[in-house]
Amino acid sequence: MSESRGRLRGADLLARALDRAGLRTVFTLSGNHIMPVFDAALGTGLRLIHTRHEAAAVHMADAWARLRGECGVALVTGGAGHTNAVAALPTAEAAESPVLLLSGHAPLTELGRGAFQELRQAEMAAPVTKASWTAGSAEELGHEVAKAVRIARSGRPGPVHLSLPVDLLEAEVADRPELWPDPAAFAPEPRGLARSDLQALLALLHAAARPLILAGPTLCQAPAGDVLSRLTRSTGLPAVGMESPRGINDPSLGAFAEVLKRADLVVLLGKPHDFTIRFGEAPFVDPGCRFAVIDPDPRLIDRVRREKGERLVLAAQADALPSAEAIIEAAGAQIRDDGGWCDEVAAALSFRPESWATQGPSAPGRVHPAELCRALTSVLLRRPDAVLCCDGGEIGQWPQTIRRDGLRVINGVAGSIGAGVPFAAGARAATGAPVIAVMGDGAFGFHLTEFDTAIRYGLPMVVVVGNDATWNAEHQIQLRTYGPDRAHGCELLPTRYDRVVEALGGHGEHVTEAADLGPALERALASGRPACINVVLDRVPAPVIRRAG
C-alpha cells in the first residue's frame, strides 16, 4: 500500500521526503524493521543499492558524500543491523563526511517490554555523530529527515543518525501540506567569518615571517574544489590540507614535518588541534609559534585555548569553506613577498626520495610498492577524472603520495581499514568515473563480498590488492618495537583474491612482476566489470619521508 483515499504511511512520507529533496540514492541492507520503506520506495525516484553488510552501506554513503558534497544516505534495520552500521560511523565522522544513517527500530508501543531487537540505538550512535535521536511521530518524519540532513551539512559536516520505529513507518496519516518540509529545510546553515576577524587574521598573516594555513578534511575533498591552491595563490602563503591519520608524517605531504618546525604562526582553518599535528608541541612545532583558529565548533576552539593559552592570538567561530573564500577575496590578486617561505614549503611538500624512481623488489616474483605507484601514476595521468581510493595500514600510504589533488577517497583521520571496496563502489555510483582502489590483503577481507553488490548494480571499479600475506601494519610494529624474534600472529594466507572475484562474476588479474602491472590495470579498466588485481607484494613498511641533512 502506498496511498489510500488521501492517506499515507509514515514510510511513504519518509521516502517521498527524500525523493523531493533529491536524496535519491540510498545505500541499504534490508531487515524486518525497514521493509515498509522498501515498499514505499516503489513509485518514487529512489534508487536502493542493496549491500551485503550494513557497515558497507555507510562506507558507500560516506564516499558519495565526500565526492558530491551532498548528504549520503544509508538505510539499515534495527538491532544488530544498526550496530553493524554504527561501526562505520567513526570513519565518516573523522573525515567530516555528511552521512545520514536511518535505522529501523523496535515499535514505540513495545519499548521496555522486551521488543524484538530492542536496543538503545540513539545512545549507541551519539558518540560518533553530530546528533542522534529516535523519531517520535509519523507525521513529523519528513521534517525529522530535513532536520537531520541540515545538521549533517552545517558547520563541520559529519554523520547524523535517526532511528525509525517500525510502528511509525506503518502508521497512516492524512496527507496535508504541513507534513512536507520546504526544500530550504534541508539546506545547511552557513556561518561566515566576521569582517573584524578577517581583518585581524590578515594582519597576523602579514606580520608573520613563516605562517602556515592548515586545513582540515572538509577543504581537502572534491566539493571544496581548488580552494586551497587558490588560497595559496591569492595570499602568497602556504595552505596545506591534512586528512590522514599519519598527520605531519603523512607521506603525501612529503617533508612537511621539517617546515612545520619553523613556522611562527599556524592558522587552523577548520583543522582540529589534535594528534595529527602532534598537539602543536615541541619539537614538532616551535615553542614560540602562535596559533589562530577558525572553526565552526566552539568546543574545538576552546581546546586550542586550553592547550595554547596566550599563544592563541585569534579565535573565530566560522565555517571553513566560506572563511577560505573570504580570505581569498580580501587578499585579491596581490602576491605577498614572503622571502621564499611559500616556495620552501612547496618544495618540502613535493619532495619524494629519488630512490623511488628505480626501487625494485627484494626478491623475484614480488612487486615493491614504489613499482606499483609508478604503474598507477601512468594510468592516472591518462585518466585525470578517475577517483583514487586508498585503504589499509601500510600499502594504502604509498598511492597517496602520487595524488594530493584530484578526486580521491582515503581512510582518513580515523585510521580505520577495510572500507576500500565499498568506497570504490560508492565512488563509482557517485561519479560514474573510473575508480581505482588500492588496499592491503588484510583490509580486503572486511568487505570483499561487496563485489557482489557492484556486479548487481553495474558499478565497474578496479581494486588493487597488495597481497603480502600479512597484517603488515601490525607486523611492522612488532619488528620495530619487539624485534623479529617476537613477530608472530599476523600472518595471512597468500590467497588468490582475483579468483574469488572471478567466482563472484568479476574480472581478475594476478601480478607477480612490475612490468605486468600497467597492462593488467588497462585490461581491468577495459573489462567494464568490477575487477580485482591481486599483486604479490613485498612486505615493507609505509614510506617515511626525510630529506638528507
CATH number of the domain to which 209 belongs: 3.40.50.1220
Shared domain check, 236 and 371 = no
Percent share of the chain, pLDDT over 70: 97
Q: Give the domain-ending residue among 186, 207, 224.
A: 186
Range 220-235 average pLDDT: 93
Q: Identify any residues that bridge with 266 across adjacent strands, giving them in sequence order.
A: 212, 291
Calculate mean pLDDT across residues 71-90.
Answer: 98
Q: What CATH number does residue 391 fall under?
A: 3.40.50.970
Do 359 and 346 belong together in one domain? no
The arithmetic mean of pLDDT across residues 156-182, rounded, is 97
**Residue 442, amino acid:** G
- Mean residue pLDDT of the chain comes to 95
Report how far residue 361's alpha carbon sits from residue 371's, in angstroms, rounded to the nearest whole number.
Answer: 8
Q: What is the pTM of this model?
A: 0.96
Q: Is residue 549 part of a domain?
A: no
The answer on pLDDT for 278 being more than 90 is: yes
Task: Answer yes or no: is 261 within a domain.
Answer: yes
d(CA 277, CA 273): 7
* 8 Å CB contact between 512 and 536: yes
User: Are 437 and 323 members of one domain?
Assistant: no
Q: Is residue 545 part of a domain?
A: no
Residue 208 shares a structural domain with residue 331? yes
Greater confidence (544 vs 264) lies with 264
Phi, psi of 448 (to 5 degrees): -65, -25
The 3-state DSSP class for residue 387 equals: strand
Q: Is residue 374 part of a domain?
A: yes
Instruction: Tell me the pLDDT band of 177, cut-offs 50, 70 and 90.
Output: very high
Cell of 489: 600472529
Q: 221 and 149 in one domain?
A: no
Q: Which domain holds residue 518?
A: 354-536
Q: How confident is the model at residue 195 (pLDDT cuts 50, 70, 90)?
A: very high
Q: What confidence score (pLDDT) does residue 144 get?
A: 98
Nine cell digits for residue 207: 606580520
Strand partners, 507: 531
- Chosen domain end from 297, 315, 350: 350
Grid cell locating 106 = 523496535
Looking at the structure, tell me whether residues 130 and 55 fall in a common domain: yes
Model pLDDT, residue 549 = 61
287 pLDDT band (50/70/90 cuts)?
A: very high
pLDDT in tens, 459-489: 999 999 999 999 999 999 999 999 999 999 9
CA-based nearest residue to 439, from 71, 58, 59:
59
Cα-based torsion angle of the residue sequence 239, 245, 250, 251 in order, rounded to the nearest 10 degrees: -140
Report residue 313 as a C-alpha cell. Answer: 592570538
Distance CA 221, CA 160 (A): 19
**Region 366-388 average pLDDT:** 95
State whether 169 and 218 are in the same domain: no
Judged against a pLDDT cut of 60, whether residue 2 lies above it is answered with no
Per-residue pLDDT tens digits for 301-349: 999 999 999 999 999 999 999 999 999 999 864 556 567 999 999 999 9
Q: Which residues contact 230 (CB under 8 A, 6 or more apart)?
A: 328
2 lies in some domain: no
pLDDT score of 336: 65
User: In terms of domains, do 211 and 120 share one?
Assistant: no
For position 339, what pLDDT does the model report?
78
Local confidence band at 3 (pLDDT 50, 70, 90 cut-offs): very low
Does 434 share its domain with 463? yes
Alpha helices in 309-447 (DSSP H): 320-331, 341-350, 369-381, 397-400, 420-431, 441-444
Answer yes or no: is 542 within a domain: no
Beta strands 99-105; 160-165: pairing state? parallel
The reported pLDDT for the residue numbered 547 is 84
Answer with the one of 316, 350, 384 that is the final residue of a domain.
350
Residue 548 lies inside a defined structural domain of this protein: no
When pLDDT is averaged across residues 13-33 and rounded to a whole number, the result is: 97
447-460 in b/e burial notation, b at 16+ Cβ within 10 A?
bbebbbbbbebebb
Structure confidence at residue 321 (pLDDT): 97
Q: How many domains does the chain have?
A: 3
Q: What is the pLDDT of residue 1?
A: 43
Whether 32 and 169 map to the same domain: the answer is yes
Angle 163-168-169 from CA coordinates, rounded to 5°? 85
Same domain, 150 and 15: yes
In a domain, residue 1? The reply is no
Residue bearing cell 550512535: 125
DSSP 51-93: -SSHHHHHHHHHHHHHHHSSPEEEEE-STHHHHHHHTTHHHHH
Task: Please check whether residues 365 and 505 belong to one and the same domain.
Answer: yes
| Torsion sign (Cα): 290, 335, 321, 226 | negative
Residue 274 CA: distances (Å) to CA of 245, 246, 382: 11, 12, 37
CA distance 132 to 164: 12
